[in-house]
A and B are shown apart, each in its own frame.
Chain A
């Protein structure tokens, strides 16, 4: 338990926060990398997912992609981009994390667009809406909750895995942990772990609230409804032999 005490001492020292290369600097770097990666992934995955979902093609492809991406270690991708001519540093980290953020956004966007009630689409068609109008005015609002879920999953995952960048010298809050291990300073290790875990949980809470506020339609308070929700098993590639 005195590791925890050491961690509290570490976190209580203002110098650890404000010095250059301290917690605040690392936090800023961590957030910059994460935000860029998620935005890049959104730019790629949202239109593609919407298109695939709208036309109803490529379902097997998206499921296969999300399953294969699960098998690729983040560490491997972070390292592989770092040994290309990009060189190791924030750019390689951002690209690797962006690649990792694509599958959850793509899959959820696809499922969201695909899951729109066919009757509603029929009705919209019957009212004379063109294909594009159906996609933007009917399917998009109805798919919005799942779309937000995809972005939230991706964002939390990116914030969490940005920690690993420290293993390949990419910076971010993870470097407090790696440095602590190297210096056998377990107080710093636990302090870093607390910071990283808190950041991930905060991101999740923030985005749950944001998606609640942004989602059109009937509103129920977030967190409360979770109690009655029956768990849904995570989709696998059942039927898609990988």
Chain B
């Protein structure tokens, strides 16, 4: 009912409302860059923290079958929880801060990363590990020099997915006022459906995600020179 009333008001409003406006971008450059910075900080923080927590979890889960089930089950459960609900669970503890968004994002990236890290580690052939152990490799050296390089493609795949989905998820942080470029989307929505602002925020998110994916794909190529020949 309220919707119908608003639609009428909108129809009466004849002010131009373009889908994209370069003058909007130039005149609000500082604001946009500010939100972009927050977006990038939250994404990097979430993926790095997620990776730091996911690696020991994956190593533990590989060590024992008893742990692998619960770790994977729990991570599936976390992933099923809607992002808005996640932020709502965290918000009463950490308040209306960027920390709330970061905690929620870390939990999601953690889920993707644990799964891919574990898959990467399990794909390391057992006889390769056996051979390395026979050559006198200790657990740390075995991990750094044998398992990590072999599992790196799966690790990087996980990091790429986690990064791209985190970039998209940051926008939900608008619920506590720290949604990076998402602030532009809801800001434009609140400012009488100002399309240029909404589209700038949305396109910015997509471009940021694609750029991050490209950078990570490049990093993967640099880090795994031996696999270059096999790739088309």
Contact = CB atoms under 8 A, between A and B. Distances in A.
A190 B3 contact: no
A68 to B, nearest CB: 8
Contact of A234 (B157, B189, B206, B214): B157
B42 to A, nearest CB: 13
A180 B160 CA distance: 34
Contact of B89 (A71, A163, A193, A227): A193
**Main secondary structure on A side of the interface with B:** helix
A75 B174 contact: yes
Contact of B186 (A88, A168, A236): A168
A43 interface: no
B122 A231 contact: yes
A63 B55 CA distance: 27
Interface residues of B, number: 64
A79 B198 CA distance: 8
Nearest to B158: A233
Contact of A76 (B175, B195, B202, B214): B202
Given A231-B72, A234-B157, A76 B201 contact: yes
B165 A70 contact: yes
Interface in A178-230: 178, 180-181, 186, 189-190, 192-194, 196-197, 200-201, 204, 226-227, 230
A178 B217 CA distance: 37
Interface in B135-179: 153-154, 157-158, 160-161, 164-165, 167-172, 174-176, 179
A127 interface: no
Nearest to A199: B82
B88 A180 contact: yes
Given A76-B185, A161-B82, A83 B158 contact: no
Interface pairs A-B: 7 shortest CB-CB: A76-B202, A71-B209, A193-B88, A160-B82, A193-B85, A233-B119, A73-B171
